[in-house]
Structure 1
Amino acid sequence: MALKHVLLASTLSIVALAAPALSRKPQQTAPAAPSAEATRYGSWGVDLSGMDRSVKPGDDWYRFVNGAWTDRTKIPDDRSSFGAFIVLRDLSEMRLRGLIEGYSPTDTANPDRRKAATLYRGYMDEAAIEKLDAQPLTQRLAPIQAAKTKAALAAEMGASMGGFGASFFGVGVSDDAKQPDTYALYLRQGGLGLGDRDLYLDPKFAPQVARYRQYVAQLLGMAGWPDAAAAADKVVAMETRIAEAHWTRAQSRDRDKTYNPVTVAELKAQAPGFAWDPFWQAAGLTKASRVIVAQNSAVPKIALVFADTDLETLKAWQAFRIADDISPLLSKRFADAQFDFRSRFLNGQPKERDRWKRAVSFTERAIGEGVGRDYVALYFPPESKAKMDVLVGNLRVALAGRIKNLAWMSPATKEQALAKLQGFTVKVGYPSKWRDYTALEVRPGDLVGNAERASKFEWDYRRNRLGGPVDKAEWGMTPQTVNAYYNSVKNEIVFPAAILQPPFFDPKADDAVNYGGIGGVIGHEISHGFDDQGRKSDGNGVLRDWWTAEDATKFEAQAVRLGAQYEAYSFEGLPGLHINGRASMGENIGDLGGVMIALDAYHASLGGKPAPVLDGFTGDQRFFLGWGQVWRTLFRNEALRQQLVSDPHSPGQIRAVNPLRNVDAWYAAWKIDPSQKQYVAPADRVRIW
């Protein structure tokens, strides 16, 4: 079940859970299955057994911190990558399983638990799913097969917002970036089943396109579509035309250029090739009079592709996208077909995840806060929230000090920056109010129907708010999500309960390690408010230029230098692939700012007293170990390729070290000199925040 109505405002996370990081050492023993409790790291927060002290810190920092762990760890067969984030995700998954399997589908006292139990059990009923085989798909393809006009296909695209299938255009309802107290309608480029435009247009990815074509033909054939191979050729050719119209990832990050409000009538006039009226009607958006278009020059070109493409190809495209969307919920032959392409081929994952794991994911996508409430009650102690409040407060003070002392920023811009920092909202652990799932209908024995109704429930929840006041208390992640984010339009940072565990945070660990771990994450999210795109909103979340022209130029110059550092890395086994410095700029600035701010906050927390030495490590050394440890990760080459092409986050091994190469205190703490490989001369170190 793919939820298509994502937040279109600037929401930036610390990590993509499927995103791998870099390590290629032999993998010998599988990690033990996680228990229902978080694993503590050493006696004071760092896994000393995971280090490789035969390596100089300045020659290979990642290996120094994580080398022994890398050597003894194997990526589980049901993962395309593995590391600190995945360990916590597995833990969260096990805890949720315990909760959900304890729920009753006949619970009349707690409807959310009853619905969660029904969703989960429906997913686990393999016998019923096998018996139905292709029937749920066949039912949902009937309107596509019967379509006589392109207008009918445009209507199917609109209906896909609350169901299965896809559209040439993504639509969402989110906070208006220039009127942040009001919900607005956003429209963006879409239509690509393979993902990023570069996968279609760069010759390096010809094998991926060829295998994708086979997959399209395979699913169409399984769905009983006539002449599936020929239809697949036309579908991929059409998507390639759409890819040619798409903006690049770097272009699509520019918040100034992607805010283009027009009336619905103006959009129809600018992009006349698409059947807009049936699209809006089927999406339930007929009352919308205004839409904010993201990639405005791409939309008319994509509409032209729709106009130029014959009806049968459009029908085959939508039939494939429905089949691709619904396959994980169908019989084994369909689920296996999708897994073989999307997980095994594209991401190198050898084995499908256990069914209970997929059932947990399915259930929490449908009713996430309904199970999240119980998760928090069991697994988020009050002491964690209290200590986090202190950490966040110290980091805000640290960034304020940095802003005041910036040599390159003018007093006028400093005043605005400090006002923005003062206006930050901080959310820790769980929402102050929980989602109401009363309107979500769940029926026993109807897995596909439940998935469809859950998608419709979520879409209706969002579209019905259009034009109304923004709910400032709403969360964009569930408490059991191992992640964190900054939202520029709400000017808020959010830290779900599930990430507030070792190695990121442990109330019983050394403060230096906590500041290096969760402190760096907090600093990362705060820094998103001042990265190359987050900086464009003011303290009230309004997208506007509050910088002097000279300060903006200085900032951009430093950002370009930082991007060049990341683009210089190469990856064994992936010739010609590099980090996209522009596309990953916000995350890279977030990491650099996060480390600098967290280190200042740690120093301030000492209250003028010297840091103790633990097991021979100074306070600053433990801080940097804490940062390096959270990025321990292994990857499969296929997954790394996907990340470099489509993910804004740099690989974990790079995140562990590159920010530190610009931090003077890292050199002093580990006595790193010009003879060591990762040394950067002081004049070449990037100084932003």
Structure 2
Amino acid sequence: MKKTILAASVASLLLLSACSQPTKQSQTVSLPAATETTSAQLGRFGIELDARDETTKPGDDFFQYAGGTWYKNFDMPSDKTRYGAFDKLAEQSETQIKAIIEEISMASELSDEQQMIADFYASFMNAEQINQAGISPIQPVLDKLNNISTMPQLTEAFGRAWLDGSVSPISGGMGFNRLDPNQYQMSIAVSGLGMPDRSYYLEDNERFISIRAAYVQHIEQMLNFANVENAADRAKHILALETKIAEAQWPREKRRNRDLSLNQIERANLSSQYPNFAWDNYFAQTEYQVPHLNVSQPEPIKNVINIINNEPLSVWKDYLTYHTISNHADLLSDDIFNANFDFYGKTLNGQQEPRPRWKRAISEMSGTQSLGFAIGKTYVEKHFPASSKAQMAELVENLRKALGERIENLDWMSEATKVNAQAKLAAFNPKIAYPDVWQSFTGLDIKADDLVGNVVRMRQFFRSDSAAKELAKTDRERWGMAPQRVNAYYNSSFNEIVFPAAILQPPFFDPNADPAVNYGAIGAVIGHEMGHGFDDQGSKSDANGIQQNWWTDQDRAAFELKADALAAQYSAYEPIEGNFVNGRNSLGENIGDVGGLAMAYHAYKLSLNSQEAPIIDGTTGDQRFFLAWAQVWREKRTEQSMLSQLKAGTHAPGKFRALAPRNHDAWYSAFDVKEGDALYLAPEQRVRIW
């Protein structure tokens, strides 16, 4: 569903402070420490063998072979649009956090952060009060929008869109200077669409025409909650406006090109190069001094400025009004929430029922611009064994060694480029499980009876904290995800790979699983994140995180040929008739998958010290390695969710991520895959990059 706090508005990528925790300490809640087990949690050695469909040949459909029985028998929960390993762990994390919050809430004396957690949860769970309030909690913002009468006032509304919980066709997010990662820098981009991708506005077929019609009806319904007159006509104008914005945007595959999106400019020169927009009014709302910026989409910004100046002010006011209501729907009365869910949940994603209120509360609380790190501190104390961090660190170093050997043996890369590649690999900074220094929430005011007020005050807290650090040296202790998030990431500016605690569980990681399983699952995930440092875009930054070319022209050309072949391979996958994987937009992730799997397999073989892996329950070590990979990507999706992933996502759907092994010779030997099998690739067609 559409997020309550939009990431596409002003000051969206707030800088997270990594300070000591509050000094005030009353009697704090003491929770049991994480426990350790001595046997694998899945099956006998870390894989669910009974999930396989052994009637399917691995070489015809490895996704089905590895998890087809599970796929056939698993019923998608009605509040889900997809379900797989990530979702299972996310549900587990939610249940654990709910128990933590309930235990905290029952205690008589709490620390400041624990009180914030208890009060925010209470404010979200007070459905009776929320329903009585209706739309009134956001009425002051709606009144302010309704009173806009000049273009400078409209520009100011765009500038404070993130604080107001609205949107702006021009967004500014604070990130890192790609030419000097020690500096923060705001990036200016085109944003402001209500549907997942520009294709939803521009593709002229029955599916998207139907979605657009439903969107207009949805907009009308949301405007009616604010008693907007002639809502049906105004909804049509909003769709027409967003269609113009969509036409101005670059396609996603173009937006991810770091060469095209690096266009730095001094703040003083912005008005001369991008005229006819009141930049001073815009930035005055943000608290940022913005000495220098990066314009990630130059021509689209100019086109959107033209749209802003040529579209009637009344349409812009309606546009902002609609998005303000929609973006706050999760915080408002059930009638508003349910109307918003009907479109964003059911129509766009095929979700049959809303998630329970307690899960929505935890989701709202768990982000990095919410109380995610306050909750995460207790989460890791209770649910993350200290020994897992040490074992994970060892795996990371094993993967680093494997990739180093692979780089040294590349036959398409010159010695000069290898030196730079090895330097970048050596400089990788792994962050595992949780921050060493926890974020401070000092000064944040959370009340048990003011849900919308709590969210507004959190926006202001994080925005002010970010603006205060704008001119300081970047904080490399900063984490972009809370520990309870089931995910991992690579940050090119800091050349760091980050693995939150919640992903370090089965089926990804189990200290007691067979080594082949851990290497095929979390090992390949580690390799995937390392691979982002060497994918088609991450490879444009050096060991210090500076965007610059460290390749010879010949080596870069050889790399691009391989990347093009992989893009073509994935672009041939057709999950929905007429709708293919965007192999170019997902290229970085696909390089991460294929390369990460190769690194992990290499590291696994090194771990065996030239010994043969044992046969366990009839499976060889290589079979367990590849099965572990495929079972990580086991998932079910609604067709609507699949479409959204194809159009707006940067990852290929799990079914096709599970097929990455078809580029690896060892997979063919492990499962006796031969010419004539559906997934067979001739050796010269197998893409080997890293």
TM range (shorter): over 0.9
Aligned counterpart for 2:327 among listed residues 322, 325, 328: 325
**Equivalent-residue separation in structure 2 for 1:599 and 1:41 (angstroms):** 21
How far apart are 1:269 and its partner, in Å? Answer: 2.1
Aligned counterpart for 2:520 among listed residues 508, 511, 516: 516
Bigger drift between 608-617 and 71-80 goes to 608-617
Is 1:212 matched with 2:215?
yes
Superposed, which structure 2 residues align to 1:137-286 within 5 Å?
Answer: 137-204=138-205, 205-285=208-288
How far apart are 1:3 and its partner, in Å? Answer: 4.7
RMSD (CA atoms):
1.6
**Equivalent-residue separation in structure 1 for 2:126 and 2:192 (angstroms):** 33
How far apart are 1:6 and its partner, in Å? Answer: 4.5
How far apart are 1:144 and its partner, in Å? Answer: 0.7
Cross-structure match for 2:443 = 439
Superposed, which structure 2 residues align to 1:304-319 within 5 Å?
Answer: 304-319=306-321
**Equivalent-residue separation in structure 1 for 2:172 and 2:444 (angstroms):** 21
How far apart are 1:8 and its partner, in Å? Answer: 9.8
| Counterpart contact for 2:137–2:452, Cα < 8 Å | yes
Letter of the structure 1 residue corresponding to residue 186 of structure 2: L
How far apart are 1:37 and its partner, in Å? Answer: 11
How far apart are 1:569 and its partner, in Å? Answer: 1.1
Cross-structure match for 1:653 = 655
**Equivalent-residue separation in structure 2 for 1:636 and 1:487 (angstroms):** 31
Is 1:626 matched with 2:623?
no
Bigger drift between 625-634 and 196-205 goes to 196-205
**Equivalent-residue separation in structure 1 for 2:318 and 2:326 (angstroms):** 12
How far apart are 1:106 and its partner, in Å? Answer: 8.3
Cross-structure match for 1:114 = 115
**Equivalent-residue separation in structure 2 for 1:77 and 1:40 (angstroms):** 27
Cross-structure match for 1:13 = none
How far apart are 1:275 and its partner, in Å? Answer: 2.3
How far apart are 1:266 and its partner, in Å? Answer: 2.4
Letter of the structure 2 residue corresponding to residue 491 of structure 1: N
Cross-structure match for 2:457 = 453
Superposed, which structure 2 residues align to 1:391-470 within 5 Å?
Answer: 391-470=395-474
Letter of the structure 1 residue corresponding to residue 184 of structure 2: Y
1:36-84 CA distances to partner (integer Å, 9 max, x unpaired)?
A: 9999210100101101111111111111110111111011000001111
Describe the SS at the equivalent of 1:203: coil
How far apart are 1:265 and its partner, in Å? Answer: 3.3
Describe the SS at the equivalent of 2:137: helix
**Equivalent-residue separation in structure 2 for 1:134 and 1:6 (angstroms):** 24
1:171-215 CA distances to partner (integer Å, 9 max, x unpaired)?
A: 111121110011111111112111311111111322222211111
Superposed, which structure 2 residues align to 1:22-171 within 5 Å?
Answer: 40-104=41-105, 109-171=110-172
**Equivalent-residue separation in structure 2 for 1:62 and 1:364 (angstroms):** 32
Cross-structure match for 2:21 = none
| Counterpart contact for 1:157–1:279, Cα < 8 Å | yes
| Counterpart contact for 1:273–1:306, Cα < 8 Å | no
**Equivalent-residue separation in structure 1 for 2:290 and 2:408 (angstroms):** 44
Letter of the structure 2 residue corresponding to residue 629 of structure 1: Q
How far apart are 1:463 and its partner, in Å? Answer: 2.4
Is 1:363 matched with 2:365?
yes
How far apart are 1:115 and its partner, in Å? Answer: 0.4
Cross-structure match for 2:555 = 551
Gapped regions of structure 1 (runs ≥ 5)? 10-35
Letter of the structure 1 residue corresponding to residue 555 of structure 2: D
Aligned counterpart for 2:603 among listed residues 601, 604, 613: 601
**Equivalent-residue separation in structure 2 for 1:8 and 1:603 (angstroms):** 42
| Counterpart contact for 2:425–2:543, Cα < 8 Å | yes
Superposed, which structure 2 residues align to 1:364-379 within 5 Å?
Answer: 364-365=366-367, 366-379=370-383
How far apart are 1:464 and its partner, in Å? Answer: 2.2
Describe the SS at the equivalent of 2:471: coil
| Counterpart contact for 2:185–2:290, Cα < 8 Å | no
Is 1:525 matched with 2:529?
yes
**Equivalent-residue separation in structure 1 for 2:343 and 2:186 (angstroms):** 33
**Equivalent-residue separation in structure 2 for 1:276 and 1:210 (angstroms):** 35
Letter of the structure 1 residue corresponding to residue 669 of structure 2: A
Pair 8,531 (structure 1): closer, same or farther in 2 beyond 3 Å: farther
How far apart are 1:312 and its partner, in Å? Answer: 0.6
**Equivalent-residue separation in structure 2 for 1:271 and 1:213 (angstroms):** 32
Describe the SS at the equivalent of 1:182: strand
**Equivalent-residue separation in structure 2 for 1:557 and 1:357 (angstroms):** 45
1:318-375 CA distances to partner (integer Å, 9 max, x unpaired)?
A: 1011011111111111000111110111000000001111111112232100010000
Letter of the structure 2 residue corresponding to residue 333 of structure 1: D
**Equivalent-residue separation in structure 2 for 1:58 and 1:47 (angstroms):** 20
Bigger drift between 547-556 and 159-168 goes to 159-168
**Equivalent-residue separation in structure 2 for 1:88 and 1:109 (angstroms):** 28
Count of residues in correspondence between the two structures = 659
**Equivalent-residue separation in structure 1 for 2:127 and 2:491 (angstroms):** 40
User: Among the aligned pairs, what percent are the same residue?
Assistant: 41
How far apart are 1:107 and its partner, in Å? Answer: 6.2
**Equivalent-residue separation in structure 2 for 1:78 and 1:303 (angstroms):** 40
Letter of the structure 2 residue corresponding to residue 474 of structure 1: R
**Equivalent-residue separation in structure 1 for 2:442 and 2:372 (angstroms):** 14
| Counterpart contact for 2:14–2:466, Cα < 8 Å | no
1:587-640 CA distances to partner (integer Å, 9 max, x unpaired)?
A: 000000010000000000011221111011111111001101100100000000
1:109-148 CA distances to partner (integer Å, 9 max, x unpaired)?
A: 4111100111101000011011111111322201111111
**Equivalent-residue separation in structure 1 for 2:471 and 2:247 (angstroms):** 33
